């Protein structure tokens, strides 16, 4: 079933977007109790060549030091933080600097080779927060209410395929171009038809989750020069199945809905805020919802800043 949401502040200034997204996702908690996630854009304040890594590490003697040593072989660690989690794991966060974005994915792959370690994400312009459990528990663990930003997307998950863990929680990310994320409700039934051409073009898939297929598809279209709304519109033509999904980019968000309209999606905006979600109850957390629009079957909408 899953719940998805997105919000953009039109003035491009920093707002407590983490708090707003927490409230939106909590309002959608009934749509998925397994895990929840946030992609909060605009608040990290990193230098041009800096990136933030989120790494899941099992609590075992020497393992965290092995992770740090692997990172250091590529780049010095500029800042680090340990976030306690659940199930005998911690989240190790570190800020690093790279010569180019193209070095990010190879470093992630090197870290992923360590047993009982997996990189949840690496990013420059957004902060990824995702974990198993309920929205309020995750929000407290990661202090999401104090996260500032310009826009964000989020997800509450009810798993119908693939396992329930932090890595398979949404948002999903592609490293074809920087900082593209997706949250998704539904199924892509022609998954392999979409995935095969992307793999032949060099996209690296880490899971068989169809949401990962969507984020690679959108990143590929944007890399080819499509505008966000054009990429969303083309996806509706190319993808089969019941779905609605939201894309986050460094410049805004967008939503697409399957041609039969089998998954929900609503929109509302005013002079200050553009917001989208699975249900109106989430929109009420960020703005007056007297003028709610239903996303039509086969429709794509985007707002960029």
* CA dihedral of 154, 160, 161, 166, whole degrees rounded to 10: 40
DSSP 148: -
2 is catalytic: yes
SS3 230: helix
Q: How far apart are CA 237 and CA 235, in angstroms?
A: 5
- Sheet containing 77-84: order of strands: 77-84, 89-97, 50-58, 117-123
Residue with tokens 């998805």: 4
Catalytically annotated residue among 2, 8, 55, 111: 2
**H/E/C letters for each residue in 63-121?**
HHHHHHHHHHCCCCEEEEEEEECCCCEEEEEEEEECCCHHHHHHHHHHHHCCCCEEEEE
- Sheet containing 3-9: order of strands: 126-132, 35-41, 151-157, 3-9, 273-277, 266-269, 293-294
- Catalytic machinery residues: 2
């Amino acid at each position: 079933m899953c719940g998805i949401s997105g919000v953009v502040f039109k003035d491009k200034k920093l707002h407590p977007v983490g708090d707003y997204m927490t409230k939106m996702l909590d309002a959608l908690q009934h749509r998925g109790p397994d895990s929840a996630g946030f992609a909060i854009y605009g608040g990290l304040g990193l230098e041009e060549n800096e990136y933030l890594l989120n790494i899941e590490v099992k609590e075992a003697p020497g393992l965290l030091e092995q992770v740090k040593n692997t990172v250091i072989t590529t780049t010095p660690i500029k800042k680090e933080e340990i976030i306690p989690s659940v199930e005998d794991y911690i989240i190790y966060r570190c800020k690093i600097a790279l010569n180019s974005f193209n070095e990010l994915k190879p470093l992630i792959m090197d870290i992923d080779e360590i047993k009982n370690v997996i990189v949840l994400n690496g990013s420059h312009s957004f902060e990824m927060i995702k974990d198993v459990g309920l929205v309020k528990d995750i929000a407290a663990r990661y202090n999401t209410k104090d996260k500032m930003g310009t826009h964000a997307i989020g997800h509450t998950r009810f798993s119908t395929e693939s396992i329930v863990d932090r890595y398979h929680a949404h948002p999903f990310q592609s490293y074809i171009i920087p900082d593209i994320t997706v949250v998704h409700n539904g199924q892509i039934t022609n998954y392999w038809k979409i995935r095969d051409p992307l793999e032949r073009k060099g996209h690296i898939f880490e899971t068989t989750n169809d949401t990962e297929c969507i984020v690679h598809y959108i990143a590929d279209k944007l890399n080819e020069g499509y505008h966000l709304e054009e990429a969303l519109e083309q996806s509706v033509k190319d993808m089969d199945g019941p779905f609605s999904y939201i894309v986050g980019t460094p410049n805004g968000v967008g939503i697409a809905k399957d041609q039969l309209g089998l998954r929900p999606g609503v929109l509302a905006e005013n002079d200050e805020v553009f917001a989208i979600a699975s249900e109106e109850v989430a929109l009420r957390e960020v703005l007056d919802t007297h003028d709610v629009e239903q996303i039509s079957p086969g429709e794509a909408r985007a707002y960029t800043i």
